[in-house]
């Protein structure tokens, strides 16, 4: 017998979800035959059979999450005959109770509420109530106690059971969304975020220009002027690495969750090259064929949420980066201006809302403000 364990899929991720099996127990497979497709937080990976053998057992079904290094498939080596199944003698059950008649009593036992469990600190409930919660798969940590001394009663558990039945079944987050949930928790726990909001006047070019490409150009110039925003922060060493090249993370929304493909050395691209690069990355993301290396290593991030709705936001900085720029929905605003002959007139400006979030552990307010000022100045130019 040989057990094949889930290998490191080359992305440094600790787990993967089974999408589809292409083999079943009893199949005779050959080396490199497609065995299973697994979804990680980055991509869907197809794993081939490691050898020619007979499949004995599959460790998991579609939708199950397998950790790296855990058993995935059990094989019988080629040429080895499986031992015939034999009926095992039924062993009599050995009783550990006292021999003889078990007497009963009408005396009621009073249970004492037990507090502090491994998964619900401070929760007080009797063993019977805990058993009831276990039967219905209810986490006592989410139950509001109504009993004396903040003890959870059976009625409290039954109330939560009814509430959960009304709202529907819990759906576990998997794949990209599971990774996103963990990443957001890390960001909330570590980063000290501050957000600056302002509006860039893009009247001079927006009708003929490519907003995303122009934003990336402006960010590159701003990073050159204020390189502290193009950096990684190390919370353990309490230090930062200021990075010369701008490796831009471009947030892309999909039905599977949020992806952030990376455009390396983004400051070197021409406008046409940048548009081609963006289109290529979005296509790879939509097909879930983007390489893992193209989803990590960004030094600063751009999120264009305004293509859908919303003017301003508080974008989330993902460690180890220290800054993210969010752009909102365009809007028009009337402004007073003087014409060449000295008379006044009212003109319409097209404005692009900007939301710059930075990690205040690494960046000062002045540095962030200067970065945003350089960015807005470039966006106002007509070329």
CATH number of the CATH domain containing 363: 3.30.559.10
Dist. CA 4–CA 196, nearest whole Å? 52
| Average pLDDT rounded to a whole number, residues 63-83 | 78
Q: Look up the pTM and report it.
A: 0.69
267 and 367, same domain (yes or no): yes
Q: Is 372 exposed, middle or buried (0-12, 13-18, 19+ CB in 10 A)?
A: buried
Grouping H, G, I as helix, E, B as strand and the rest as coil, residue 283 is: helix
Q: Let me know if residue 102 belongs to a domain.
A: no
Give the bridge partners for 74, in sequence order: 3, 57
Look over the chain and give the mean of its residue pLDDT values, rounded to a whole number: 85
144 and 264, same domain (yes or no): no
User: Dmax of the chain from CA atoms?
Assistant: 115
Q: Let me know if residue 307 belongs to a domain.
A: yes
Q: Which range marks the domain in which residue 134 is found?
A: 124-167
Give the bridge partners for 28, in sequence order: 54
145 and 218, same domain (yes or no): no
Dist. CA 344–CA 146, nearest whole Å? 71
245 and 162, same domain (yes or no): no
Domain containing residue 22: CATH number? 2.40.50.100
Dist. CA 381–CA 383, nearest whole Å? 6
Question: Residue 137 is encoded by which pair of tokens?
Answer: 């798969």
152 and 294, same domain (yes or no): no
226 and 336, same domain (yes or no): yes
| Average pLDDT rounded to a whole number, residues 320-335 | 95
268 neighbors 244 (Cβ within 8 angstroms): no
- The pLDDT value given to residue 339: 76
29 neighbors 49 (Cβ within 8 angstroms): yes
290 and 226, same domain (yes or no): yes
Grouping H, G, I as helix, E, B as strand and the rest as coil, residue 71 is: strand
Question: What's the pLDDT tens digit per position in 122-171?
Answer: 688 888 888 899 888 888 988 999 888 889 998 999 999 998 888 888 77
163 and 201, same domain (yes or no): no
Dist. CA 368–CA 360, nearest whole Å? 9
Neighbours of 98 (CB within 10 A): 7
| Average pLDDT rounded to a whole number, residues 292-299 | 90
Dist. CA 39–CA 15, nearest whole Å? 9
Confidence of residue 245 (pLDDT cuts 50, 70, 90): very high
Domain containing residue 147: CATH number? 4.10.320.10
CA angle 294/62/7 to nearest 5° reads: 50
Q: Let me know if residue 154 belongs to a domain.
A: yes
284 and 153, same domain (yes or no): no
248 and 323, same domain (yes or no): yes
Choose the most confident range, by mean pLDDT, from 111-115, 338-342, 351-355.
351-355
Q: Let me know if residue 113 belongs to a domain.
A: no
Grouping H, G, I as helix, E, B as strand and the rest as coil, residue 250 is: strand
Grouping H, G, I as helix, E, B as strand and the rest as coil, residue 312 is: coil
| Average pLDDT rounded to a whole number, residues 253-270 | 92
Question: Residue 234 is encoded by which pair of tokens?
Answer: 């190390």
Q: Let me know if residue 255 belongs to a domain.
A: yes
List CB contacts of 276: < 8 A, sequence separation 6 or more.
none
| Residue 362: pLDDT over 70 | yes
Dist. CA 297–CA 263, nearest whole Å? 9
| Residue 119: pLDDT over 80 | no
Number of domains in the chain: 3
68 and 154, same domain (yes or no): no
Q: Let me know if residue 33 belongs to a domain.
A: yes
CA-based nearest residue to 359, from 183, 192, 190, 188: 192
Q: Which of 77, 100, 135 is the last residue of a domain?
A: 77
Q: Let me know if residue 153 belongs to a domain.
A: yes
Q: Let me know if residue 89 belongs to a domain.
A: no
Place of tokens 């004396």: 148
- Greater confidence (303 vs 43) lies with 303
| Residue 297: pLDDT over 90 | yes
Confidence of residue 72 (pLDDT cuts 50, 70, 90): very high
Distances (CA, A) of 198 to 237, 328, 376: 33, 10, 9
345 and 276, same domain (yes or no): yes
């Amino acid at each position: 017998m040989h057990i094949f364990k889930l290998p490191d899929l080359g992305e440094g991720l600790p787990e993967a979800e089974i999408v589809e099996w292409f083999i079943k127990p009893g199949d005779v497979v050959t080396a490199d035959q497609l065995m299973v497709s697994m979804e990680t937080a980055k991509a869907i990976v197809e794993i081939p059979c490691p050898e020619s053998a007979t499949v004995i057992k599959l460790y998991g079904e579609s939708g199950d999450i397998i950790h790296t290094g855990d058993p995935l498939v059990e094989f019988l080596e080629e040429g080895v005959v499986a031992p015939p199944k034999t009926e095992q003698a039924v062993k009599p059950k050995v009783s550990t109770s006292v021999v003889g008649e078990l007497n009963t009593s009408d005396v009621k036992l009073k249970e004492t509420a037990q507090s502090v469990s491994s998964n619900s600190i401070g929760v007080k409930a009797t063993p019977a109530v805990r058993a009831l919660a276990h039967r219905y798969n209810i986490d006592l940590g989410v139950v509001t106690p109504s009993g004396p001394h903040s003890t959870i009663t059976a009625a409290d558990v039954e109330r939560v059971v009814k509430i959960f039945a009304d709202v529907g079944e819990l759906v576990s987050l998997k794949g990209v969304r599971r990774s996103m949930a963990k990443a957001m928790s890390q960001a909330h726990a570590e980063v000290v975020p501050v957000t600056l909001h302002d509006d860039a006047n893009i009247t001079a070019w927006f009708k003929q220009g490519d907003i995303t490409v122009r934003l990336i150009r402006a960010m590159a110039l701003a990073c050159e002027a204020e390189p502290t925003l193009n950096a990684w922060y190390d919370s353990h060493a309490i230090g930062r690495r200021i990075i010369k090249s701008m490796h831009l993370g471009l947030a892309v929304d999909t039905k599977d969750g949020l992806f952030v493909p990376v455009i390396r050395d983004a400051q070197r691209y021409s406008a046409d090259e940048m548009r081609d690069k963006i289109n290529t990355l979005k296509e790879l993301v939509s097909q879930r064929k983007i390489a893992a290396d193209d989803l990590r290593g960004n030094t600063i991030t751009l999120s264009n949420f305004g293509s859908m709705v919303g003017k301003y936001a508080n974008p989330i900085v993902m460690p180890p980066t220290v800054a993210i720029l969010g752009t909102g929905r365009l809007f028009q605003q009337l402004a007073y201006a003087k014409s060449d002959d000295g008379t006044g007139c009212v003109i319409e400006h097209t404005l692009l809302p900007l939301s710059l979030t930075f990690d205040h552990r690494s960046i000062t307010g002045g540095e962030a403000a200067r970065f945003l000022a350089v960015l807005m100045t470039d966006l106002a130019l007509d070329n």
